[in-house]
Each structure stands twice: as structure tokens, then as C-alpha cells.
Structure 1
Amino acid sequence: MGASNLPSGAPMLRSMCLSLTSFCLLLPTDSLRAEDWQYTLRAGAASVPRYSGSDERVVAPLLGAKVISPYGLFLDTEKGLGWAFDEDDFGLSVYIGASDVRKDRKSGFKGSDELNGMGSIKSRPALGLDGTYHMGPIILGARFEHALEKDDDDHDTGSSWNRLKLSISAPFYEGDYGKVVGSLNSQFGDSHYVRTWYGVSVAQASRSQFRTHDTRGGLVSRGAELSWSMPIDDQWSVSTVLAAQYLAGDAADSPIVERRMQTSLAGQVVYTF
């Protein structure tokens, strides 16, 4: 890094932020008004792989909260701090939060000893952009995430990266027993993303049990999700999500990947007031 200490993606970030700011200013004021503050608390548990590609599983607690203010500003423990705009057929949210992490040692609900020597991937600030478009019952979705470069960190685990998730979803059932929604998705990553999460450099290979693995950007996985939400009353509800991701391309060929099919199951109780 140079003396300015700016991440390598800084010019792109500045352009993206300026474009988003200009877009927000053009939106009609009436669309930004909300009736009141809304608060949401979530608690539950999830059975997930210890890392992407792992055949080890862990049951981890899920605790979260979200506050939505008038004019669409929100603070969410899952996404971070941001702003959301939603109309009948179009939705957009912009936020800044924290990127995912991966530890190279088993520590509580995180990491795996199988990754010993690979180095931990630390969390760093990440910018996100979510968009949805309704076509009747069909919902098209896109989520873009840019993680900033980690200052003074290892090139193999601290580079900035970009990830894109495209999805299509539709309701399967809506009635007395709640709502069931199914979706299909594809995830893509640039060369830095795939290298960070699935590559093995010469230095990493010398410290770990894995052979070297060079990677390129492209398709990372294809997946499907099935979610069920059941309202109990005006404030309480329960939700369950079953998700599967099938790793593809250089991600699937990585020596750290023990199982290409990655599944997760999560259940939560949600309280909104």
C-alpha cells in the first residue's frame, strides 16, 4: 500500500458512493416517509458448515436486532448501518457493515483446525448494495458487496474483494399456516474474493497441509433456499430457512473444500414492535 493508506478499490468506491448519493437525491420525498420507528429482535439457532467447503458442522446461536427509522434509515446487526427505499415493485438498500470472517483454528462457533496455517480472514468494513424488482409474484434480487482492503495485513487474507449474488424467488404457499418462499441463486466473486476464500498461496501451502491452488474470478456457487415464516400475532412470528450452495469453478477445485454441497438450517423467533 502507498503512503496515502487508501485501499486499492478507493477510486471505485468514491464513484459508487457519489452515484448512489445522486440517485437518493433524485428520489421523490414522499417515497422516503415512514409512519414511525420500527424495532425487531431475533433469536434462534443455525446448523452451518464451519467454513465454506467444510464437512464439519456447528450449531451456533443466532441473535440479532434491527431498527428502522423514518425516511428509511436503519441499523441492523446483520447488515450494518444503511438506508432503504421500497415501493410496490422496486426496493433498494445501501449500507456499510462488516465483512465475513474465517479463523484457521477452531474457536467456539468459528473456524476449523483443518485450516491451521492458512491464516485467519479478518473482518473489515464492507459496502453493500441490495436491489429487488417484483414481476408479479416473481422477485428478482441482486446483492453486491465490496470489502475494503485490510491495512497492514497479509496479501493472501487481507485484500479487498467484490462479491455479487443474483437470485430469483417466488411464493409457494401463503395461507393459514404462514408463507413459504423458494428461491434460486448464483454467486460470483472477483479474483481477490476467490483467492482470499479458496486459494492457497505458496506461503500458505508451506504452513498448512494443502497444496498450492491458483484461482481466478467467476462463478463461485449455485444455490437454492426455502423459507417459511409463520405469524403468531401482530408482533411475534417464527421463521425457518433451509439453504444449499453447490460450489463451482476454482472454488470447488480448492484443496480446502472437503464437500462441494454446503447446507444450512436456521430457525428464529422474531419480535417486532
Structure 2
Amino acid sequence: MPVSFRTFSLSLTSLCLLLPTDALRAEDWQASLRAGAVSVPRYSGSDEQVLTPLAGVEIVSPYGVFLDSQRGLGWGFDEDDFGLSVYIGASDVRKDRRSKYKGSNHLEGMGSIKSRPVIGLDGTYHMGPLILGATFEHALEKDDDDHDTDSSWNRLKLSISAPLYEGRFGKVTGSLNSQFGDGDYMRTWYGVSTGQASRSRFRAYDASGGLISRGADLTWSLPIDEHWSVSSMLSMQYLSHEAADSPIVERRMQTSLVGQVIYTF
């Protein structure tokens, strides 16, 4: 999947009212602001790239409750060897026409995949220098009840990462991953129903659940001072046969590049 940017808003004042007064001291809270740009495919399988502005915020309370513009609202903890978080966010979207930074006219007639609530579970385990990761997401069904684009689906991402370099020029981390989706996920993002085929340029295609892609990420981060840092990430995803055989897929290798400045306080 392309890099997903999810917008989620909540009144910080309302959130603070749920916590004890002694937890609201400024030194107990962590916050970061992110700004930059990202180059991503217009949809998973597209051969068109689009340059999109990137902006985000993350706020973490002393009790592990967090608000992240990318993941959503959730709770997590991170011990020395093990980390776990649960969250409620929003899924990515796909439009069947070009609209600013989303969609492609190549998909005309396929119908748009709308954002819907996502429940996520994210875990990490440290084995020496290696970090094992697993992320599971369940997207709820849309009220529109369009079987082609609004079904609930499940996605699992497994990863292993390790530091490759750490020194005066920052830190470089490499990661390998595999992504899996159930039948509803594959049908939503890569399938072409008979109805969609009759409205679009594509032949009907029934995508089965299983492996979505294998990929690799390369991340570089450089702290400037105690508040400012810069980072970039190159991500490559090679679509599996089940996804790549879809008539909507124009390019099997999907590449994303992110660059951002981060202010932490």
C-alpha cells in the first residue's frame, strides 16, 4: 500500500479533563510536529507518482494515551524489549478520477474506495539489534454497503529491522517486510467485479486473499539539536502475483520517498 496519511482530530482540552491534574504538567507530555513532502504512487499498482505535502502531529500523555495524525487515537507502552499499541484511526482512500493528490483517471468507472474507521494493533519485540514488528488492521464496513468498495477487510504486516549505521551523520535503519490481506481486502483494492468491468476499461478479476507484497524500507534520521531533527525514508513494495495480476496494476514495483523536518517538545 502507498504511504497512508490519515487525518484525525480531537479536542486536547477534552482529553485532558479525563486525566488527573498532576498528570498535566508540561514535562510529562511529549509532542512532535512534522512537515515535509512525500512522493507516492497515485494508487497501489499505478505507474504514476504524485508529490504530496506532508504535515502531522503526535501527542503522547504520561499514561500512554496518544493522538497521532497518521495512526489516530490510541494507547501504547514501550518497554526495553517489547512494545504494544492499540488505536482507532481511518483507512486510506482511492478515487477513480484524478483529484489533487489522490486517485487516477485510469480507474474511471471503478468507483471510489472511501475512508472508514480502522482498529489497529501494533507490536514490536527486540532481539538484540534486531526488531521484530507486527501490525494488524481491521477496517469496518461502510454504511453504503457497496460490496465492491465498502466491505470490511483485514491486513497484516510483518517486519524485521536493524540499525545499519549510527554516528556523526545520524542513524540509518533497514527493514524488510511482508504484507498479507484477506479476500475482502484483495477484492477491494485489486479486484474487478463484473459490475466494475462493465463500467470501466478493465476485465473482471477475482483476487484471492493471501500475500499482498514484499518490501524493504531504508530510513535515515539526523538530530540537529534537542528539539529539531530531519529524516527521510525510501520504501519499496513488490506486489505479489495475486495483486500484480490485477488488470488495474500497471507497475509491480511500488516506490515511495518521504522527507520531513520534526520538531519535538
TM-score by length of 1: 0.87
Secondary structure of residue in 2 paired with 1:180 = strand
Equivalent residue, structure 2, for 1:89: 81
Residue type of the alignment partner of 2:253? M
Residue type of the alignment partner of 1:81? L
The structure with the largest helix share of the pair is 1
- CA distance 1:35–1:142, shift in 2 (3 Å): farther
Residue type of the alignment partner of 1:146? H
Equivalent residue, structure 2, for 1:179: 171
| C-alpha separation in 1, matches of 2:262 and 2:66 | 17
Do residues 141 (structure 1) and 133 (structure 2) align? yes
| C-alpha separation in 1, matches of 2:173 and 2:37 | 20
Give 4+ residue runs of structure 1 displaced > 4 Å after superposition: none
Do residues 193 (structure 1) and 214 (structure 2) align? no
1:159 to 131, 148, 151: 151
Do residues 271 (structure 1) and 263 (structure 2) align? yes
Give the superposition deviation at 1:70.
1.1
Equivalent residue, structure 2, for 1:118: 110
Structure 1: gaps (5+ residues): 1-33
Equivalent residue, structure 1, for 2:10: none
| C-alpha separation in 2, matches of 1:145 and 1:249 | 22
Q: Once the two structures are superposed, what CA deviation does each residue of 1:172-207 show, in whole Å capped at 9, x if it has no partner?
A: 001111100000000000000000000000000000
| C-alpha separation in 1, matches of 2:249 and 2:168 | 42
Secondary structure of residue in 1 paired with 2:131 = strand
2:43 to 51, 56, 62: 51
Q: Once the two structures are superposed, what CA deviation does each residue of 1:144-195 show, in whole Å capped at 9, x if it has no partner?
A: 0000000123110000000000000000001111100000000000000000
Q: Is the 8 A contact 1:38 1:67 kept in 2?
A: yes
Secondary structure of residue in 1 paired with 2:85 = strand
Do residues 203 (structure 1) and 195 (structure 2) align? yes
| C-alpha separation in 2, matches of 1:35 and 1:224 | 36
Secondary structure of residue in 2 paired with 1:196 = helix
Give the superposition deviation at 1:64.
0.3
Do residues 231 (structure 1) and 223 (structure 2) align? yes
Secondary structure of residue in 2 paired with 1:227 = strand
Secondary structure of residue in 1 paired with 2:28 = coil
Residue type of the alignment partner of 1:56? E
Residue type of the alignment partner of 2:212? V
Residue type of the alignment partner of 1:52? S
Equivalent residue, structure 2, for 1:11: none
In angstroms, what is the RMSD of aligned CA positions? 1.0
Secondary structure of residue in 2 paired with 1:155 = coil
Q: Once the two structures are superposed, what CA deviation does each residue of 1:15-68 show, in whole Å capped at 9, x if it has no partner?
A: xxxxxxxxxxxxxxxxxxx96101110000011100000001100001000000
Q: Is the 8 A contact 1:98 1:124 kept in 2?
A: yes
Do residues 131 (structure 1) and 123 (structure 2) align? yes
Secondary structure of residue in 1 paired with 2:43 = coil
| C-alpha separation in 2, matches of 1:89 and 1:35 | 25
Do residues 249 (structure 1) and 224 (structure 2) align? no
| C-alpha separation in 2, matches of 1:129 and 1:209 | 37
Secondary structure of residue in 2 paired with 1:182 = strand
How many residue pairs end up in the alignment?
A: 240
Do residues 220 (structure 1) and 217 (structure 2) align? no
TM-score by length of 2: 0.90
Q: Once the two structures are superposed, what CA deviation does each residue of 1:57-110 show, in whole Å capped at 9, x if it has no partner?
A: 100001000000011000000000000111000000000000110000100000
